[in-house]
Structure 1
Amino acid sequence: MDRNFVRTATGAVAVAVAAFCLMSACAGSGASRPAGTEGTSTPVSASPAPVLLESVAPVFGAKFAQGERVPIHYTLSKGMTADSVVLSVGNRRIGPVAPEGFTYNLGPKYPVGRVVYRLTAYRGGESQSRSGEFTVLAASAPALYGHRVKRIYPHDRTAYTQGLLFHDGSLYESTGLEGQSTLRQVELSGGRVLRSRNLSDLYFGEGLALLDGKLYQLTWQNNKALVYDLNTFDKTGEFDYGGEGWGLATDGEVLYMSDGTEKIRVLDPATFRPLRTIEVYTDRNKVMYVNEMEWVRGELWANVYTSDNVIRIDPQSGAVLGVIDLGGLLSPADIDATTDVLNGIAFDPATGRIFVTGKNWNKLFEIEVVKR
């Protein structure tokens, strides 16, 4: 519509505004506009930017083993061209991708788990990205092990064992359940509790680790890690974290924390901030419910909640190296209404002894692992 015509029509309406009949006639004419819209024009929506990348591959559901090569490729939308297409994996830029695709090499120790990548197409001063993903599995099936019981020790049946470690001749144990959670030092030979500290009734005690003279104790759903002096059991600090706390272990430098999923967080003990995340996978699937953990000869050993298995995990890649079957440790006479699942691994690095127990078990076992 011509702008001069709009201004003229608006002026005419202003002159005739005192005449009710004329105003009514103008308001009813097909050439008029609703009040307040004079002199405006309907905005025109900007055209959406053309889609450069029509698709990428691989996508969710694709699986590759450590050591294999992953073919990554893309398809441009019909009629589209791109100056370049660049591949990034995680937060790391890999490089340009040729029209025929790119081969991404998985090393033999490549971390297992979900991998998200991004392809970014550049054209002129514009860019568009599209993401894809695939899962990396362990290169080989885990070795299978059984066990032999070397010695049996008494264990407090009322202890709902959530964390266990061995240090300087004694066991240190974290027990759970609201109103019953404790930190305790336990005599190995007789199972006698030498020292104990009760947690707040609000806390459900979980995993336990000893590093640099400090005991770190997780809580289940309270999002708190409690820190104690080893010699006095005095609480010296605490940290917050997101999600649930399950198992805790240390390699002498960092902490490893499980949360009931297939993921293990590697934490800075000074801040409890995550340094990286490990995902636990076999050659077939992820392993959920990773629970109490222990550092054993350069590996992470972990209970798998609700099972009689302990898994051996490569702490760098997350691949499951072995599965230890600990079924049958308790006899029928040892089991009562309170007896719960296997949980608790302790390692004595000086002698190589391995101790295991469970929640509300009346016995603790020194075992030898036997390959099948």
Structure 2
Amino acid sequence: MSSFKLTFFSLSLLFLASCGSGNQKPSSLFSIVLEGNTNKINQGTTIGVSIKNIKNKDIEKVTYVMDGEELPISDGKINFSVPKLGNKVLKANITYEGTTVEVTKKLKVLASKAPEIYTYTILNEYPHDTGAYTQGLEFHNDTLYEGTGKKGRSFLRKFDYKTGKVYQQVDLDKTYFGEGITILNDKIYQLTWRSGVGFIYDLKDMKKLDNFQYGESREGWGLTNDGTKLYKSDGTEKIWILNPDTMEEEDHIEIASNKSLFADTNELEYVDGKIYANVYQKPGVMIIDAKSGAIEGVVNFGGLSDKVTKTENWIDTDNVLNGIAYHPTRKTFFVTGKDWDKLFEVQIEKK
């Protein structure tokens, strides 16, 4: 090799080496270390945090951020009193040698305590249509509204819950599998399962006003509202918060117990800051804090299906508990199931 080529080759190596040292990834310099090397933290827990300084750089300052808010550090510890639970990213902004880099660590923030156990007392039993594969159930005044599923027999109806008499019904096109419903501002909102579309109806005459498309949410499962915003479940651990005017998914909460995140929230009902959620294919209802996503209670409705007349086409994993509606005047809950012949009025109470 000529001396010119050797010199050029040597210079090239030096150039590449200098470029590499100036563009090292933050992860090659630093990493976040949590006490016990955990990646699960209960809300409100105080836990030690440090920076692993891989290259022994001279660190001048470190700040920690989660969900856009700085987390104060005291004696090398952070208190994770964050307002919302779920999958999180802890960011550390590290200033060293006149520059600042960001490193991250994925973790889960879970509920601070285990859910309380609730039971129920049956107050009344009413007739329910065995052709109604219940997906959504909600009261407006003293009238019960119901949305049902299954392609070819999905509909939206309003009826007298005491007698089962149907006042009005709108059938969905056979291509749609109907899902949850809710009523807000004189409009009825209805989801479909996997079609990525929902419908908006006029409350007075049930005439369809508009369609809406889903955003990031995966599917349409349950739907409820707090008087201002809509809450939509999609079969994941997330419940999406929608603007009823634009139908945009503006935010979400993630559902968590003190042990893990929880998916499969189905039919929803909002009452006094809590979301009551049917658990898909289970005889239970979760009581969820609508702001944090914490599962605060679980209602065990086991045994309720034994009071239902099972037809020859009954399938235990299909004809399950689903549908929960709160009657604000009576201050009781009404629950039923998919193709059940009974609607139960119950009082929910701590066990």
Output the CA distance in 1 between the equivalents of 2:144 and 2:307. 26
> Match of 2:80?
106
Q: Give the unaligned 5+ runs of structure 2.
A: 6-10
The question of 1:139 aligning with 2:112 is answered: yes
1:81-96 → structure 2 map (5 Å cutoff): 81-94=58-71
> Match of 1:200?
173
- Answer yes or no: is the 8 Å Cα contact 2:32–2:52 preserved in 1: yes
TM-score by length of 1: 0.82
The question of 1:270 aligning with 2:245 is answered: yes
1:16-31 → structure 2 map (5 Å cutoff): none
Indicate the SS of the match to 2:112. coil
> Match of 1:23?
none
Rg (Cα) greater in structure: 1
> Match of 2:324?
345
Indicate the SS of the match to 1:330. helix
> Match of 1:13?
none
The question of 1:324 aligning with 2:299 is answered: yes
Output the CA distance in 1 between the equivalents of 2:228 and 2:337. 27
Worse overlay, 295-304 or 47-56 = 47-56
Output the CA distance in 1 between the equivalents of 2:258 and 2:227. 29
**What CA deviation, in whole Å up to 9, does each residue of 1:134-162 have, x standing for no partner?**
32222222111111111111111011110
Q: How far is the alpha carbon of 1:205 from its aligned partner?
A: 0.8
Pairwise CA RMSD of aligned residues? 2.5
Counterpart residue identity of residue 321, structure 2: L
Counterpart residue identity of residue 50, structure 2: H
Output the CA distance in 2 between the equivalents of 1:72 and 1:79. 17
> Measured at CA, do residues 213 and 329 of structure 1 come closer, stay the same or move farther in structure 2, by a change above 3 Å?
same
Output the CA distance in 1 between the equivalents of 2:116 and 2:50. 35
> Match of 2:131?
158
Matched-pair identity in %? 36
- Answer yes or no: is the 8 Å Cα contact 1:67–1:110 preserved in 2: no
Q: How far is the alpha carbon of 1:224 from its aligned partner?
A: 1.1
> Measured at CA, do residues 180 and 333 of structure 1 come closer, stay the same or move farther in structure 2, by a change above 3 Å?
closer
The question of 1:217 aligning with 2:196 is answered: no
The question of 1:56 aligning with 2:32 is answered: yes
Worse overlay, 111-120 or 355-364 = 111-120
> Match of 2:341?
362
The question of 1:312 aligning with 2:303 is answered: no
TM-score by length of 2: 0.87
**What CA deviation, in whole Å up to 9, does each residue of 1:76-124 have, x standing for no partner?**
12332234333221333447x79x74x32233x7322222111132345
Output the CA distance in 2 between the equivalents of 1:201 and 1:211. 26
Output the CA distance in 2 between the equivalents of 1:229 and 1:346. 20
The question of 1:175 aligning with 2:148 is answered: yes
How many pairs are equivalent? 333
